[in-house]
Chains A and B, each alone.
Chain A
Amino acid sequence: MERIYLDHAATTSLDPRVLETMLPYLQGIYGNPSSIHAFGREAKKGIEAARASIAKELGAESPSEIIFTGSGSESDNLAIKGVARAYREKGNHIITSAIEHHAVYDTYAALEKEGFEITYLPVDEFGMVAMESLLNALQPSTILVSIMHANNEVGTVQPIAEFSKLLKERKILFHTDAVQSVGVLPVKVSELGVDLLSLSAHKFYGPKGVGALYVRKGVKLAQQIHGGAQERNRRAGTENVPGIVGMARALELANQERIAHQAHLTELRDYLIESLMTKIPETRLNGHPTERLPGNANLCFRYIEGEALLLNLDLKGIAGSSGSACTSGSLDPSHVLLAMGLSHEIAHGSLRLSLGKATTKAEIDYVIEVLPEIVNKLRAMSPLYEFAGEEQSLCTAKK
C-alpha cells in the first residue's frame, strides 16, 4: 500500500542535499570542536560556518547571537528559564499565551514553583492573541513575554512584529517559539523585532536532535546545562557537529525555495479544507482561515473521536495527527482547542493534516476520497450521532 505522509508539523524527512552536507561530518571530520588540534579545528570551522549562515538567514546582527541546542524544546527551555533566572532581580512576572507548545507551557509549571507569576493570554476562536489583552497584562514586574509565532496544532500565525513594537517601547524582553514557522514563512528577527527565537532543524527537512536559539546581543541568559564552556558558556555539551551543519544547509535551502513551496502548500491546503468541508457535514475548521501556516489543515468532525479517526486513516496508508485526549497523552483533549473555545466533545474529534513540499494533488485527492467514508463509518457507530441536528450551533465554537 502506498503511504501518504501528512504529518509534517510533527517532523519532516531529511532532504538528501542536507544529508550530503552532513556526511563528511559523520565520517572523516570527527574531531571535538573544543580541541585545539587540527581535528578539532576542522569541526569547529564547520559549526562556525553554520552559525554564520543561520545568523544571516534569520537576519541576526552577529553569528554570536546563535546558540546551538539539542532541540526546539531545549531552545524554549533555555530562552524562558534562562531569561527568568537571569532577570529575577528585576521582576517575577512572565506573559505568554494559552496555546503555547508544551515545551513552553510546561516550562512555566517549573518556574511557578520558583515563585514566578505567569499570565496566560486568552485567544479568540481563531487562536489569535489580541494586542489589547497583552497591553492589559503588562505589569512593572514583567520581565518576559513569550508568544509563539505559528501554532503547531491549528497553524494560526500571530502578529509578532506588532507585539514587539509595543514591548520594545517598554523594554520588556520578547521570545517567540518559531519552531513551526522557520523555513516555512519569512522569519527574520530584524523584522519580527524579537529578542529570542527558537527553531528546530527537523521541522524544515533538517536532521533531528538539533535546534538553535537566537539571543539578541546584550540579553542575559542564565546557563541551563552546566559543564563546559561551549556556546560561550551558555550551553555546555559537545556540539552535534553533523546536525548543526545539516541545520544550516536545511535552512538555506528552505529559504531559497520558500516562495514556491508556500504557494504550492497554500493551494493544496485550501483545496483539501474546502473539499472536506463540502463533503463532510458538521465539520469545523480550526485556526485562522487565512493567517495560518501554508501546510496546516486542522478540522473537527463532530460525533467521532480522533484516535479512531487516525487509526482508520493509518489503515488506508494516511498519516495524520489529532488533538484528542488519547493522542495528547492526558485525559483532556488539546489545550489549544479548548483555549479557542471548543467543547471537550468537539475537541476530541480533531484531525490535523500537515502538508509538505513533496505532497501531491493526487495524495490530497486520495484523502478527499477516503476520509468521508471513514467519518461516516465512525458516525454510524456513534451513539452521539443520533442527536445530530438537534442543536443549532453544533459546528461553532462554544464561548
Chain B
Amino acid sequence: MTLPYVINLLYQFADNVAFLLLAALGLMIILGVLDVINLAHGELIMLGAYITTLSYNEMHLPLPVCVLLSVIGVALFGLVLERTVIRRFYRDKLGALVATWGISLILSQGVLILFGPSLVSVPLPQWTVGYGGYAFGGYRLMLFGVAVLVVWLAWWIFYRTRLGVWTRATMQNPEMAQALGISTSRIYMLTFAAGSALAGLTGALYAPTTTIVPLMGTTFVDVAFITVVVGGGTNPIVGALTSSAFLALISTPLSSVLGTFIGRIGLLIASLVIIRFLPRGFSGYLRDAGRRRMGRGLVS
C-alpha cells in the first residue's frame, strides 16, 4: 500500500466518477425537471462523438472547436426532439420512454447506414503524467476537471439564477409555476436542450478515448442508467453527485482487481440492493431524511 498505489486508486476513482457524472447528469436533469426518461440519451452521446470526430477528421478543425460544435449540434437536435416528440408525453412517462427508444433505434441504425460500422478515432492528446512508476493520462484528469466544472455550473444555474428558481418551481409544482407566470413549456424546452447538450459534450470529450461505432452509446448508458436509478429523480444534482461517488467507490476496487466487466456487474447488483431499500434513490432518501431531522414528518 504505497503512496503511488493509493494515488493510482484515487486517479481511477476520479476517472470513474467523471465518467458516471458526465454520462448521467444530462439524463438526470431531464428526469428531474420533465419527469421523462430519454432512452435516446446514449444516441445523443454518440451523435456528440460523431460530430466531433467528423469535424476533426474531415474539416480539420481544432479539437475544442469540434467539441463546441458537438455541444451546439446535439443541443439543437434535442430542442427539435422536444418540440416534436417529447412534449406529447409530458403526462406519460412510460410512453416517452418507448417513443425515445424508437428514436434511439432510428439514430443508431441511421448512423450505421450513413457512416458505416466505424469511424477513425480522433487521436488522444498525449499528456501523460508519470509518478512513482504509474502513468496517468492527463486528458482523463482534465475530464475529471470538466465534470466538476459542469456540476458546479449546473448547481450555480439551479440555485443562483432566476432561471434556476423558475426551473425548481416547475419541478415542484408545474401548475402553480404556470399560475405565477412561468412559461413551463419554455423551461421544459430549455432543460431538454441543456440535457442534450450535456450528452453531446460527453460524447465529444470521450471521443478520443474510445472506438467510434454507431452503438457506442450503450457503453455510456449502461452505467448512466444505474447512476440515475441509484441517484433518483428528486434532486438531479445531489443525486448525480452522491450516486456517481458511491458507485465509483464500488466499481473502482472491483474493476481494478477483477476487471471492468465484474465492475459493471457489481454496479448492477449494488443498484438492485439500493433500490430495494431506498426506492427513491439517494436524492429521495436524503430529502426525506432532511425533513425528519427538522422534526417534520414526510409529506404524504
Partners in one complex: no
Which of A's residues lie within 8 Å of B, judged by CB? none
Which of B's residues lie within 8 Å of A, judged by CB? none
